[in-house]
Amino acid sequence: MKVLVTGAAGFIGYHVARRLAESKRCEVLGVDVIGDYYDPALKGARLEQLAQLEKFRFVQGDFAEAEKFSALVAQFKPHYVVHLGAQPGVRYSMENPGAYQHSNLDGFTSVLEACRRTPPKHLVFASSSSVYGSGAKAPYREDDNTDQPVSFYGATKKANEVMAHSYAHVHGLNVTGLRFFTVYGPWGRPDMAPTIFARAICEGKPLKLFNHGKNLRDFTFVDDIVDGVVKVLLYPPAERPTPSMRIFNLGHHRPVETLLFVRMLEELLRKKAEIELLPPQPGDMFETCADLTRVQAAIGFAPKVPLEEGLKRFVEWFRGYYNL
């Protein structure tokens, strides 16, 4: 079967594309613009790994360029589409909202239009726990109110869910949105907490923890996320007249304080951190925790990798990739 993966040079996109291509049952076409939000060399290194796989091909391009992307989809004719390309980052969305409009709003419109013109069996796209926002109470459930995201990034992901619902309703697309919860692991982005924390510890630099390190995060190992993505992908929503748009949480359901997360990294790296405790940061959520009842009932999803094991694997990769 043919699967198109956007954001294939990104963190989660790389892992999903690799899992699908290694199965040898899938012909995988990866698409990525390879932007400079973070070091393109890391994206290039991921692509070098993927290039070794017989069932993977790559096209560099911007999925927000609607006509070009629609032509690519029409030519490839994927059975399944996994849309993981996006402009990430909560804090950066306050500095450069235009990047989020381009990738997350215009870009997602382009993906939906391409799938309308050349319908796949199933379109799965990345949403985020950031949609829950103000007033949300843990554990977060998919039917909770998500009308008050506290970051522009979260607002764009909420918009993606509403846009997808309209295309499912009007055009009959089978669509599933996945709300990811604090994904970590090997090949992770350098702007994410695990790499920021590990680098600061290794280099002996001050490590800033907002909300005095008391924020709770539902850290989810990337292999568990990939398991969820692939299982969901292969089980589209039921055909009409039943609704053809679904939302699932994908998380670990065991939130951990960021300060404890740092202490675990210290032990693995065998070096103490110079911690600087700071007040809460605007746009941050104090706690994330996924209720997994719905996704467990639908596909039997259950995270398998405990934080201790996941962090060990992350540190092994971190030391090797950054030569530390």
CB neighbours of 229 closer than 8 A, spacing ≥ 6? Answer: 12, 16, 82, 124, 178, 250
Q: How many CB atoms lie within 10 A of CB 164?
A: 25
CA–CA distance, 106 with 100 (Å, rounded to integer): 9
DSSP class of residue 238?
A: P
**Contact call for residues 92 and 281 (beta carbons, < 8 A):** no
Give me the catalytic one of 153, 167, 235, 322.
153
Which tokens hold the place of 307?
């934080």
Which tokens hold the place of 65?
């360029």
- Say how far residue 234 (Cα) sits from the centre of its chain: 18
**Alpha helical stretches, state H, the chain:** 11-22, 40-51, 66-76, 92-95, 97-100, 107-117, 152-171, 193-203, 222-233, 258-269, 293-299, 307-321
Q: How many CB atoms lie within 10 A of CB 93?
A: 21
Active site residue 153: yes
CB neighbours of 235 closer than 8 A, spacing ≥ 6? Answer: 298, 299
Orientation angle between helical segments 193-203 and 258-269, nearest 10 degrees: 50
**Contact call for residues 250 and 212 (beta carbons, < 8 A):** no
CA–CA distance, 73 with 120 (Å, rounded to integer): 9
Q: Which residues pair with 181 in a beta bridge?
A: none
Q: Which helix (H) or strand (E) holds 177?
A: strand 175-180
Amino acid making up residue 43: K
Active site residues: 153
